[in-house]
Amino acid sequence: MTKLLLLLSLFAAVAAAADDATLAKGKQVFEYWCATCHGNGPLPGTVALQAKYKGSKPALLEERTDLLPQITKTFVRKGVSIMPFFRKTEISDADLDALAAYLARNRR
Amino acid sequence: MKLPPGVKSKDFSDAIKQFEEAVGKEWVFTSDEDVALYRDAYSPFWGEEEERVASSAVAPNTVEEVQKVVKTANAYKIPIYTISTGKNLGYGGSAPNLSGSVVLDLKRMNRVLEVSERNAYALVEPGVSYFDLYRHIQEKGYKLWVDVPDPGWGSPVGNALDHGGGYLQPQYRNHFDSHCGMEVVLANGDLLHTGMGAMPGAKTWQEYKFGFGPWIDGIFSQSNFGVVTKMGFWLMPQPDAYLTGTVTVPNHDDLIPLIDTLTLLENSGISNGMPGIGSPLVGGFMMPPPSPEVSAMLAKPDGISSPELQRYARDKGIHYWSCTVKFYGPAKAIAAQWEYAREKFSAIPGAKFQDGEFYKLPLTPDQFNRVHKPEFGIPSLEMFSIGARSPLNPTPGEGHIWFSPIIPRTGEAVFEANRIFSQAARDFGLPILSFSLPTTYWMRAFIFLFGFPITHNVATNRKNRESFKKLVQIAAEHGWGEYRTAPAFQDDVMATYSFNNHALLRFHETVKDAVDPNGILSAGRYGIWPKHLRKARA
């Protein structure tokens, strides 16, 4: 039993570490590809979301609590308004998974 | 999967297999979902049959892989279309001129190969973005600036090859002019170095442009004669300080001596940042719209030159024109240069002056956050504010294309261009400004930029395309040509460069047939078609 608990706690630790690594990767992808428009400040993506939601949702994507991973993936691969879609040589599927996980981390 | 035109299904599938062997299966994109990412997000044909779309894409990681892909394409006569970072939005994005082409996506070739702080140059691959190069220089702590376009997420290689420009001192502002040395993969897979790079072991590839014999770099820009896989660029040493000052002049006709004086100051090296001509009376590019009263006067046939508007300016005591001059250099020197500039502008009666920004460099974090970053060699995407949703633009479009004619650097030409283009805008109901000032300042010419919105409405896009083509014609009738345009209009623009029965295009075609006899490279780019597709030319 003790061994099983040890094994389980080890597994949980590994899973949490992997998750942290994914989130760290996602943050890195966000900062490289997204923050130049969606970062803090009067940047086009942030201003656009402020104008769209008028405060009913945070203008900063990193503060959103409702971004399902699929929503992020759809916007990245389909684009919206003047934001173009991104190719897989720019944001790979693995990077996009990490980005989507990062933007979903505050989800309630 | 869409087939390239004239290519048999078996040949295409064999070529795709060879592409996969060359670059790895995961870097050959053939599914509809993946290939759709190579559409031009700002295509003026969005969703129409004529939209130019790829059949597939292949993304090599090294020049050797590029050579393998090109050799395969040449063997099977597969049309390929090269992109660097594919961010040429408004001028074509990552989509080919010829539908069915395989996009040769060089984004993975993203290495900064060398930066010399001592001799102020860099050597980069096509997938390097301005942000990448900027970050690399920052991380290394080099005191060098990169001249960046606005927005700055594109590629130094791609932007220079498309004749893009930036904001710094004139010798860096024209990005093709500031390059030094290229590596090019030819259509047969052969590898070429230009300039000093042609000498094995050359020590000055990025330091002396011409090498020995004809300088051929120009034929690889705005063309389809090779695949550029490396380019050198000269970088600007970080100056000690930055200063701006603004002169305003009261009368309509003062624009003529204002521009002449500015040109003299720039050509003499006194003012060395990209200037900005504006109008306190009517505003300008990136400025708030004029008052309804002024807008009504501008909408009349005489527009900016109407006697009514001139009277209004005089009565209200509003100066017609402003010119902001910018200086990079030692603080004491640029203060003296501004003083000299004021003396020169003072020859215009009624001229008034205002000191502008002054920064000791590098910028403080606070200054960093509020300046127009490209003027400090910092890439930014803030330019997208023009089209993005905002309180002033609650219903944004889906993108834009640019009509961008080159206009002589004189006040008379600015007046004439406004008269002609505003008349065209009225005639065609165009969504362009009723008055425009230069957006880009080359040393001896201006470029005007007129943005056309892109929508996902076929009828609107069709109308805008027709209007765009008419503007190309009208401009050509007045001796003004575009410096760059989207694939949808490249044949039309090239057709206006028609001296002596299109001698220039005929020469391009002679070169094309010689260096790319199977016509595999970027067919149709800038209006240059391979022999077997020339019938497609309008």
Specify whether the CB–CB gap between A69 and A101 falls below 8 A: yes
Identify whether residues B254 and B144 lie together within a single domain.
Answer: no
Does B415 lie at the interface with A, CB-CB under 8 angstroms? Answer: no
Residue B496 located in a structural domain = yes
Identify whether residues B38 and B155 lie together within a single domain.
Answer: no
Continuous segment of H or E residues that includes residue B13: helix B9-23
Residue B440 located in a structural domain = no
Q: Is B483 a catalytic site residue?
A: yes
- Give the domain-ending residue among B319, B354, B386: B386
Across A93-107, B335-349, B429-443, least confident range: B429-443
Which residues of chain B have a CB within 8 Å of the CB of A46?
Answer: none
| First and final C-alpha spacing in chain A | 35
Residue type, B486: A
- Give the domain-ending residue among B340, B357, B386: B386
pLDDT category of residue A5 using cuts at 50, 70 and 90: low
Report the pLDDT averaged over residues B265-281. Answer: 95
| Entry field: residues in chain B | 538
Identify whether residues B61 and B140 lie together within a single domain.
Answer: no
**Minimum CA–CA partner of B383 in chain A:** A44
Which residues of chain B have a CB within 8 Å of the CB of A81?
Answer: 388-389, 396-398
Output the DSSP codes for B100-167.
Answer: TPEEEE-TT---EEEEETTTTEEEE-TT--HHHHHHHHHHHT--EE----SS--S-HHHHHHTT-B-S
Q: Is B76 a catalytic site residue?
A: no
Question: Who's near B263: CB < 8 A, 6+ residues apart?
Answer: B409, B444
- Which residue of A37, A82, A86 to mutate against B (max B Cβ within 10 Å)? A82
Identify whether residues B276 and B178 lie together within a single domain.
Answer: no
Across A7-16, B110-119, B441-450, B507-516, least confident range: A7-16
Report the pLDDT averaged over residues B464-482. Answer: 96
Identify whether residues B245 and B357 lie together within a single domain.
Answer: yes
Domain count for chain B, please give it: 3
pLDDT at A13: 43
Residue B439 located in a structural domain = no
Identify whether residues B226 and B146 lie together within a single domain.
Answer: yes
- Give the domain-ending residue among B237, B271, B306: B237
Q: Is B91 a catalytic site residue?
A: yes
pLDDT category of residue A17 using cuts at 50, 70 and 90: very low
Q: What is the ipTM of this complex?
A: 0.93
CATH number at residue B138: 3.30.465.10
pLDDT category of residue B120 using cuts at 50, 70 and 90: very high
Report the pLDDT averaged over residues B344-370. Answer: 97
Domain residue ranges of chain A, discontinuous segments joined by +: 2-103
pLDDT category of residue B383 using cuts at 50, 70 and 90: confident
| Domain span including residue B224 | 112-237
Residue B197 located in a structural domain = yes
**Bridge partners of residue B57, in order along the sequence:** B29, B103
Residue B500 located in a structural domain = yes
Residue B189 located in a structural domain = yes
CATH number at residue B33: 3.30.43.10
Identify whether residues B156 and B258 lie together within a single domain.
Answer: no
Chain B, 106-135: which have a CB under 8 Å from a chain A CB?
107-108, 127, 131
Identify whether residues B229 and B330 lie together within a single domain.
Answer: no
Identify whether residues B125 and B103 lie together within a single domain.
Answer: no
pLDDT at B397: 83
B71, two tokens: 């050799």
Does the pLDDT at position B88 exceed 60?
yes
Does B196 lie at the interface with A, CB-CB under 8 angstroms? Answer: no
| Span A79-90, pLDDT tens digits | 999 999 999 999
Identify whether residues B233 and B302 lie together within a single domain.
Answer: no
- For domain A2-103, which architecture applies? Orthogonal Bundle (1.10)
Identify whether residues B250 and B228 lie together within a single domain.
Answer: no
Identify whether residues B190 and B143 lie together within a single domain.
Answer: yes
Would you tell me the crossing angle of helices B255-267 and B331-345 to the nearest 10 degrees?
150
Question: If you count residue pairs, one on A and one on B, with CB atoms under 8 Å apart, how many are there?
Answer: 81
